[in-house]
């Protein structure tokens, strides 16, 4: 059978736009000679709609869209994803469903069995799990239709405190009783640089175990924090990847399940390049889908703002990015010059506004209140908040959305000022550890020097007091990032982290900083997720706890 995989970028709730994309792909598949075209999970609504699924009007529009799309399925069949009302007296109100469309109407509906409720997933909040299994008979073939997690009943665990078998049922085992000729899987699997190999391994394992070809169609594009990387595949019954669609962009491919043809897979790229591409896509889609156009940020001459700026320009274009250089009396001449050179290298508008007059005014008015107390972090934070005022003024006056530049290492330990440098509508680097920020800068400079070398090699500093260095209050980032990864991503205990060769007192101090600053992250901008455990709604921790 000739099957087309349509890997598309949807917008949540844009029924007209999503339906138009789907219909255009159906017509393209017809022209290409396809018998069947497969789309991704919840393609009609976009993934994930969250509590929009509790609105009757939203579900009604989804139903109308599916029926309208079905009208175009003449001389071809399609499988699209959408919510479906549960008509039974008991259970959740909806199913997460795949609709098999042919001959101009809905022929059958196949509900998702395994509903993930870990990390960023919360599907059992809205959906009832499937309990019945069947296959589709079409053009002499038997097709097993599955939805994303239905193939993930067994999966690797990131740490020892976890199970590799999360569910009591295996949809593939149940469907294999019908001896299907191949499996299609509608997926919305988000990108994670430290787990992206797992997905292929799971698919390969299922194909081998059941000796069954798998056609896997993943979503591409970003929905606020979540970034979907595409990479849809056709895997034969021996577990070999025969065809693979592009990453981080829309794609379409026609596959003949009876004639595999030449192997066509994507070239290997390093994880830093993937993170780069994911972040560019995340920024671009956040602005496009929110109907924002222009961005701004404070360019300090440091590595984080430099990398954020390059990503923003690549996502939005130089004409849509404007920055402020906001030096104080503690800013080095090198930092100001590095920031200016970077802005000119990128061809963007920049303005230099010295914040010292504003800082002096704040400090003068606060002097009577602070009488008898020595300067401390309070005065440092006044500088950060003064910068925040200037940045938000530009955002308000000109409609430029402020990008937050805080990296994951700083975000983890609370090394940022609320209502100051933590301001912003989107946190670009909030899931990127400091060492990887440096690696991103080197990747950006691989063809020519865009980010000044001095920005990359100088010791990191907030420049809020004389001769300040990050290392004054934090462990070296080589150690800090490793401790944080083991604690956040791998859920290891202080003793387990200490056993890796770290000083126990330092480990406990770092972990205490992580736990104590949950209240800051709770108020922070949404963070583009590129790892298996990003701050935000995928990591739910109490703000108040003795741990």
Query: 384: number of CA atoms within 13 Å, CB side?
Result: 21
**Beta pairing partners, 218:** 187
Q: Examine the pLDDT at 330 and tell me if it is beyond 90.
A: no
Region 472-481: what's the mean pLDDT? 91
Exposure on the CB side of residue 379, measured as CA atoms within 13 A: 21
Lowest mean pLDDT among 332-336, 365-369, 475-479, 521-525: 332-336
What pLDDT is stored for residue 163 in this prediction? 62
List, in sequence order, the alpha helices (H) in 263-302.
271-290
Active-site residue, from 73, 148, 217, 411:
148
68-110 per-position pLDDT tens digit: 999 999 999 999 999 999 999 999 999 999 999 999 999 999 9
φ, ψ for residue 196, nearest 5 deg: -65, -25
Q: 346, 310 in Cβ contact below 8 A?
A: yes
Helix, strand, or coil (residue 137): strand
The question of whether 274 is a catalytic residue gets the answer no
The number of C-alpha atoms within 13 Å of 395 and in the hemisphere containing its C-beta is 19
Distance CA 267, CA 127 (A): 37
**If you write DSSP's letter for every residue of 304-325 in order, what string do you get?**
HHHHHHHHHHHHH-GGGEEEEE
| C-alpha angle 234-205-174 in degrees, rounded to nearest 5 | 90
Query: Does pLDDT of 158 surpass 80?
Result: no
The token duo for 260 is 């595999």
As a whole number, mean pLDDT of residues 47-55 equals: 97
467: pLDDT strictly greater than 90? no
Choosing from 21, 61, 112, 206, the catalytic residue is 112
Which residue from 109, 84, 85 is spatially nearest to 98, judged by alpha carbons?
Answer: 109
Whole-Å CA distances, 304 to 439, 462, 479, 486: 11, 11, 19, 23
Q: What is the rounded CA–CA span in Å between residue 335 and residue 304?
A: 13
What is d(CA 308, CA 297) in angstroms, rounded to the nearest whole number?
9
Is pLDDT at 148 greater than 80 in this prediction?
yes
pLDDT value at residue 104 = 97
> Which secondary-structure segment (H or E) carries 295?
strand 295-298
DSSP, collapsed to helix, strand or coil, labels residue 31 as helix
Contacts of 161 (CB under 8 A, 6+ apart): 491
Q: How confident is the model at residue 235 (pLDDT cuts 50, 70, 90)?
A: very high
Peptide bond before 48: cis, by omega within 30 degrees of 0? yes
The C-alpha atoms of residue 379 and residue 390 are separated, in whole angstroms, by: 17
Going by pLDDT thresholds of 50, 70 and 90, the confidence category of residue 149 is very high
Residue 157: predicted pLDDT:
62
- 3-class secondary structure, 187: strand
| 354-403 per-position pLDDT tens digit | 999 999 999 999 999 999 999 999 999 999 999 999 999 999 999 999 99
- Would residue 112 show up in a list of annotated catalytic residues for this protein? yes
- Do 329 and 383 form a contact (C-beta atoms < 8 A)? no
In whole angstroms, what is the distance from residue 151 CA to residue 170 CA? 8
225 in catalytic set:
no
- Token pair for 282: 């995340």
Query: Is 61:46 a contact under the CB 8 Å cutoff?
Result: no
pLDDT of residue 333 exceeding 90: no
Characterize 409-434 residue by residue with b for buried, 16 or more Cβ atoms within 10 angstroms of its Cβ, and e for exposed.
bbbbbbbbbbebbbbbbbbbbbbbbb
Which tops the pLDDT comparison, 186 or 333? 186
H or E stretch covering 515:
helix 504-516
How long a stretch of residues is the chain?
Answer: 547
Round to whole Å and give the CA distance between 72 and 22. Answer: 10
Q: Average pLDDT in the 180-196 region? A: 93
- Determine the Cα angle at 538 with ends 537 and 539, to 5°: 90
Which ranges of 49-195 does DSSP label H, i.e. alpha helix?
A: 56-70, 171-176
For residues 43 and 81, is the Cβ–Cβ distance under 8 A?
yes
Rg (CA), the chain: 26
- Identified catalytic residue from 2, 21, 41, 206: 41
Alpha-carbon span 421 to 384, nearest angstrom = 6
Q: Say what the pTM is.
A: 0.95
- pLDDT-derived band at 160, boundaries 50, 70, 90: low
Q: What is the average pLDDT across 392-417?
A: 96
In sequence order, what are the residues at sequence separation of 6 or more whose Cβ sits closer than 8 angstroms to the Cβ of residue 131? 113
């Amino acid at each position: 059978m000739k099957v087309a995989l349509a890997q598309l970028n949807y917008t949540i709730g844009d029924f007209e736009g999503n339906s138009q994309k789907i219909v255009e792909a159906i017509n393209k598949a017809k022209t290409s000679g396809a018998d069947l075209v497969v789309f991704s999970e919840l393609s009609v609504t976009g993934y994930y709609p969250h509590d929009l699924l509790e609105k009757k009007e939203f579900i009604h529009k989804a139903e109308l869209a599916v029926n309208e799309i079905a009208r175009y399925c003449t001389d071809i069949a399609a499988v699209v994803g959408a919510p479906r009302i549960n008509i039974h007296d008991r259970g959740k109100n909806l199913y997460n469903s795949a609709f098999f469309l042919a001959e101009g109407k809905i022929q059958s509906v196949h509900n998702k069995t395994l509903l993930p409720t870990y990390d960023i997933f919360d599907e059992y909040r809205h959906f009832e799990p499937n309990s019945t299994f069947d296959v589709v008979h079409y053009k002499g073939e038997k097709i097993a239709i599955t939805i994303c997690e239905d193939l993930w009943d067994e999966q690797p665990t990131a740490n020892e405190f976890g199970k590799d078998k999360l569910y009591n049922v295996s949809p593939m085992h149940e469907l294999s009783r019908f001896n299907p000729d191949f499996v299609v899987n509608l997926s919305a699997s988000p990108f994670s640089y430290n787990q992206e190999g797992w997905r292929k391994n799971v698919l390969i394992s299922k194909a081998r175990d059941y000796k069954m070809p798998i056609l896997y169609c993943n979503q591409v594009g970003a929905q606020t924090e979540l970034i979907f990387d595409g990479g849809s595949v056709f895997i034969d019954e021996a577990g070999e990847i025969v065809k693979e669609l592009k990453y981080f962009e829309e794609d379409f491919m026609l596959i003949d399940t009876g004639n595999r043809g030449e192997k066509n897979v994507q070239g290997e790229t390093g994880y830093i390049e993937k993170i780069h591409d994911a972040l560019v896509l995340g920024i671009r889609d956040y602005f496009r889908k929110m109907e924002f156009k222009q961005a701004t940020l404070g360019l300090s001459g440091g590595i984080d703002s430099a990398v954020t700026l390059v990503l923003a320009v690549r996502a939005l274009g130089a004409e849509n990015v404007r920055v402020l250089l906001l030096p104080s009396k503690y800013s080095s001449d090198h930092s100001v010059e590095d920031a200016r050179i970077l802005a000119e290298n990128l061809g963007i508008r920049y303005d230099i506004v010295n914040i010292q007059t504003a800082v002096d005014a704040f400090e003068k008015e606060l002097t009577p209140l602070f009488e008898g107390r020595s300067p401390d972090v309070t005065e440092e934070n006044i500088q950060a908040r003064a910068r925040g005022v200037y940045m938000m003024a530009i955002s308000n006056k000109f409609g430029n959305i402020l990008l937050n530049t805080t990296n994951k290492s700083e975000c983890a330990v609370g090394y940022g000022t609320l209502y100051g440098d933590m301001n912003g509508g989107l946190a670009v680097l909030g899931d990127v550890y400091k060492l990887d920020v440096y690696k991103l800068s080197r990747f950006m400079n691989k063809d020519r020097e865009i980010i000044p070398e001095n920005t990359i090699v100088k010791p990191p500093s907030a420049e809020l007091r004389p001769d300040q260095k990050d290392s004054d209050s934090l462990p070296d980032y080589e150690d800090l990032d490793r401790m944080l990864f083991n604690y956040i991503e791998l859920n290891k205990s202080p003793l387990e982290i200490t056993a890796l060769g770290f000083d126990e007192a330092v480990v406990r101090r770092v972990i205490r900083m992580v736990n104590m600053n949950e209240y800051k992250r709770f108020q922070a901008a949404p963070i583009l997720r590129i790892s298996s455990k990003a701050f935000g709604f995928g990591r739910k921790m109490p703000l108040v706890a003795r741990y």
